[in-house]
Amino acid sequence: MHGEDLHVLVVDDSAMVRQVMQAILSTNRNVKVNAAADPLIAWAKMQKDPPDVVITDLEMPRMDGLTFIRKIMLEIPTPVVVCSGLAARGTELALRALEEGAVEVITKPKVGVREFLHESAVTLLDAVWSASEAQVSARPRPPLAAVPRLTADAVLPHKRKSLAAGLPNGVIAVGASTGGTEALRVFLSALPTNCAPVVVVQHMPEVFTRAFADRLNNECAIQVQEARDGDRLQTGQALIAPGNRHLLVNRSHEELVVQIKDGPLVSRHRPSVDVLFRSVAISVGSKAVGVIMTGMGDDGAQGLCEMKEAGASTIAQDEASCIVFGMPREAIARGAVDAVVPLERLATAAMSAQSR
């Protein structure tokens, strides 16, 4: 333990990437950063001074990132954040790394962009703190640099009246973050082909969501795909919000259609669970089911309150089965949740709530 400080080890063979990552992370005085040019150097440093979180590239000299992650999980279990390029190979490797036990995936900083985007710094710092919470011993989270924190109002005004009347069927809306890739696999693979349409926000960078959806599509009985603007919601189908874009569900006569929208970070995220849940509260109301799963922070808690107020059934994943209990805990604390169930029973609970 390092008291209030968070010790992060950055592993990347690019000196420029290491420098940029160190500069971003060091903007939070509670984060202490060390760096290594390859996994063997990193391993020696880890044995002398075990970090709280490791951020690693996947394609490096002397040892590849997947082997490095396996070694960490076997010998010095430590939360790992994968820092990957956007190329197809990087995307595939990052998804495999999540299966090997990595808890977050972020995209490589845009080296050479002098004014490195402020919200990318927010994303990186949040990923590191989220990962640090994915341990048995929880640590108080020091304050992040002051960032204007926007609510779903920034994307969609709050309307009290729901438009649910006349809809032929409902929707299961799901929000997840840290640990969510594996939790979603369990949840979606347990849903039958006659289930109501499912819409998902998983905090994940752009490009990765399509590969993630394709991978789930191969494993699930239902159809899973990355959502596109204008997609109609259909029985036996799950649509996953594309990384870096908000997903809303809108009413079009007696159909529900997806809107993919740019906009600011909401509750520190884009896509934001709050934005999805609010749109479902407005468009689907009492015919919806809201499910909040493992993840850091409170994105989705306010939106789930709005769904409950609109008459929807609301469910949270229980603490024992969460990698990080932050999002469900916050929703429960705000009185937004009807039922708290383990991951392996979430699909059954959602189906039961949908048919009530």
Catalytic positions are 177, 203, 299
Cβ burial, residue 234 (10 Å; 0-12/13-18/19+): middle
Tokens of 76: 């010095």
Q: How far apart are CA 182 and CA 344, in angstroms?
A: 12
Query: Cα(182)–Cα(186) distance, rounded to whole angstroms?
Result: 7
